[in-house]
Amino acid sequence: MSENNSGNEHTSAAEFLKGLWDENPVFVMVLGMCPALAVSNTAINSMAMGLATTFVLVFSSILVSSMRNLIPNQVRLTAYIVIIATMVTVIDFLLAAIVPDIHKTLGAFIALIVVNCIILGRQEAFAAKNNVKLSALDGLGMGLGFTFALLCIGSIREILGSGTLFNVPLFSDKFEPWVIMILPPGGFFTLGFLLLFFNWYKQRRKVKKV
Amino acid sequence: MDNLIWIFVSALLINNFTLTYFLGICSFLGVTSKLVTALRLGLANIFVMVITAIWAWLLNTYVLTYAPYLRLISFIIVIASTVQLVEMVVKKLSPELYRALGIFLPLITTNCAILALALFATNKGYGLVEGIVYALGAGGGIALALVLMASIREETKLMDIPKVIEGTALSLIIAGILSMAFMGFAGMFSAS
Amino acid sequence: MNEENVHTEDAPKEPSSGRLIATLGIAGFFSGILLVGAYLFTLPMIQANKARALEAAIYKVLPGSKSFETLVLKDGTLEVFKNAEASNQGAPPNSIFAGYDSTGALVGIAVPAEEPGFQDIIVGIYGYNPSAKTIIGFEVLDSKETPGLGDKIVKDMAFKTNFAALSVEPELVVVKKGQKKNPNEVEAITGATISSKAVVRLLQKSIGNWKPAIEKYIATAQKDKQ
């Protein structure tokens, strides 16, 4: 993790934007895919999962950074985990109350946001050392970057696997869906090929610079 | 008994934690390049999972009926402290086992598969015995996936691989193929 | 994680364990308040959602039904589950639902059941007409069957019409598509025979388990009326 902790130099906008592209948690750092990939078989599921994660990330960051001077070092990880678990439980209840259908399809994977390495990672690497405003922006940027990445995976899988996007049919009847894409192997393949593309892109840029 | 066999085989092969639920892929992609390491990590996983299953059942039966909102927090805290406790006990009682499991015990705390096991087992309403069988199946499934992956990666070490696909991308694509192979197990119980 | 973070200058060398416990206590206290608040705030909505989903499923598998009551199995006998407040919490395990039409006549009994399918457990609910000994409706509540193949048990309308009037006697039989001749036969879905068979096995097993209790209950209910 390349975290330049030089607080003042960063503008707020930069803190927000870095999560979207330069330090995109999924494509660049390959973090936090454990629980999320399982529900990335449609665009709508991916978006719900991404937004739920963003919610947890932003509010945990706010809480952690506002208490950063009160929490002794020895118990900081425990305290962070308690805070994160609380936020996850809250979003779990909220989703069950407001959008029961989505809550049913995501199932236990909402609760698994708790072990998403991105969240604990951002608390430790950023929120614990920066003020509330920057931490919230950092959380929002990272969360949206994560949502974006998950949405990419979900859209690819849904378009190829069922021929639809957000349940809207895209092709004529002649399109035979690649069912494998909405099955678990499709998740591995999609992320694998996306990473492959990112590697290729990065290498080409390096070659050009030289 | 039929039910227990179904739970075990379902968790081990048909709904393999790593290859169909993407649980524990962090360690699956990161750690496995040596067969022995993978085997030890798998064993540590089974070990912690069985203990977690017992804890999850205890909590779910005696505490969470009164305070369902504490489910996630209590699971997380119990898992973290169990792993630490197990580490200390194993260190004292069997230094050999401790050396074998090595650094993997603490690493497992952050493994999503352990929490997932506790959540799935309680969601499905498993009792104590069913929970332990489920843990054995799920842990065994993870160990199996780790060992398979490590063996394949040991082979790829000597191959001439294009630079862009090296590392995680390659592992993910191998995992996809493995996952496809495991799809063949589906239906093995209902084909009759 | 970050080595540099462990030794920041503002951290005192060794805070007393009292302070450690106090901090965690305060964090726990606040998260407790937050949790209980969110729980109490969302509970009525979640329960309403669950009740609505159950109600919708029951009315779907018992066409024509307008109201239902929950029956619980106790020592081999079905009893009406009356506790209105508790039924808000969702029906107790081992319960089935008797559906009545607008005149109060029994339409049938809705029974939830589950069975291992191709991929994972299939959870469903079916409507059973005890007097005609037929199944009058079936809905899948939860399944992870293969999209495009096994999930036709949820989406395939032709498969669903199998369960509009399906005689459970002598027993359910799976036949090829287009070869249904007797009222106790179910046409399998092409390309999803395993899932189709799993659904039939689910019905067969569950009917076998519940039939004696349901018949006993109907008999006593009729006696009470006379």
Residue contact C49–A96, C-beta within 8 A: yes
On average, the pLDDT of chain C sits at: 79
Please check whether residue B76 touches C, CB under 8 A: no
Give C2's pLDDT tier (boundaries 50, 70, 90).
very low
End-to-end CA distance of chain C: 77
pLDDT at A1 over 70: no
Which tens digit of pLDDT belongs to each residue from B94-113?
Answer: 787 777 666 666 666 667 88
d(CA B26, CA B33): 13
**pLDDT surpasses 90 at C61:** no
What range does the domain containing A22 cover? 2-209
DSSP state of A168: E
Local structure of residue C167 (DSSP, 8 states): E
Q: Which of C183, C141, C145, C142 is nearest to C162 (CA)?
A: C183
Q: What is the pLDDT of residue C225?
A: 66
Under the banding of pLDDT at 50, 70 and 90, the label for residue C92 is low
pLDDT at residue A5 in the model: 45
Higher pLDDT, A6 or C182: C182
The whole-number pLDDT of residue B83 equals 79
Contact with chain C for residue A89, Cβ under 8 A: yes
Q: Where are the domains of chain C?
A: 41-225
Over 50: is that where the pLDDT of B182 sits? Answer: yes
- Residue B80 buriedness (CB in 10 A; 0-12 / 13-18 / 19+): middle
pLDDT at B32 over 70: no
Q: Which residues of B touch A107 (CB under 8 A)?
A: 123
Sequence-distant (≥ 6) Cβ neighbours of residue A31 within 8 angstroms: A25, A117, A118, A121
Confidence of residue A140 (pLDDT cuts 50, 70, 90): very high
Q: Do C38 and A67 touch (CB under 8 A)?
A: no
Residue C168's SS3 state is coil
Contact across the interface for C42 and A94, Cβ inside 8 Å:
yes
Which chains have at least 3 CB atom pairs separated by less than 8 Å from chain B? A, C
Partner residue opposite A72 with nearest CB, options C20, C142, C149: C20
pLDDT tens digits along C117-133: 887 888 889 888 888 88
Model confidence pLDDT, tens digit, residues B34-74: 788 788 788 888 888 998 899 999 998 888 888 888 888 88
DSSP string for residues in chain B: -HHHHHHHHIIIIIT-HHHHH-TTHHHHHHT-SSHHHHHHHHHHHHHHHHHHHHHHHHHHHHTTTT-GGGHHHHHHHHHHHHHHHHHHHHHHH-HHHHHHHTTHHHHHHT-HHHHHHHHHHHHTT--HHHHHHHHHHHHHHHHHHHHHHHHHHHHHTTS---GGGTTHHHHHHHHHHHHHHHHTTTTTTT--
Q: How far is B5 from chain A (nearest CA, A)?
A: 23
pLDDT over 90 at C163, yes or no: no
Per-residue pLDDT at C172 exceeds 90: no
A28 and chain B in contact, CB less than 8 A = no
- CA-based nearest residue in chain B for residue C35: B69
pLDDT for residue C197: 85
Contacts of B116 (CB under 8 A, 6+ apart): A35, A108, A112, B17, B21, B23
Nearest chain B residue to A182 by CA distance is: B20
What residue type is assigned to position C188 of the chain?
A
Q: Kindly tell me if the per-residue pLDDT of A75 is higher than 80.
A: no
Per residue in C47-58, pLDDT (tens digit) is 888 888 888 888
Q: What is the DSSP letter of C12?
A: -
In whole angstroms, what is the distance from residue A104 CA to residue A95 CA?
A: 9
Chain C: give the shortest CA distance to residue A208, in Å: 34
pLDDT at B4 over 70: yes
Residue C193: per-residue pLDDT: 80
Residue C56 · residue C139 · CB < 8 Å: no
Mutation for testing the C interface, residue in B6, B75, B190 having most C CBs under 10 Å: B190
- Please give the tally of structural domains in chain A: 1
The residue among C75 and A60 whose pLDDT is bigger is: A60
* Cβ contact A115–B110 (<8 Å): yes
- Closest to C58 (Cα-Cα) out of C46, C45, C68, C44: C68
Q: For the residues C179-198, what does the mean pLDDT come to?
A: 81
Q: What is the distance in angstroms between the Cα of A142 and the nearest Cα belonging to chain C?
A: 19
* pLDDT on residue A7: 45
Q: Touching check for B68 and chain C: CB below 8 Å? A: yes
When pLDDT is averaged across residues A136-155 and rounded to a whole number, the result is 91
Task: For chain A, say whether C148 makes contact (Cβ under 8 Å).
Answer: yes
Pairing of strands C173-175, C185-187: parallel
Mutate which: A55, A90, A118, A122, vs C, most C CBs within 10 A: A90
Model confidence over A45-57: pLDDT tens digits? 899 999 999 999 9
In chain C, % of residues over pLDDT 70: 87
Percent of chain A at pLDDT exceeding 90: 20
pLDDT of residue C90: 56
* pLDDT at residue A38, as a whole number: 85
Q: What is the pTM of this model?
A: 0.82
d(CA C112, CA C96): 7
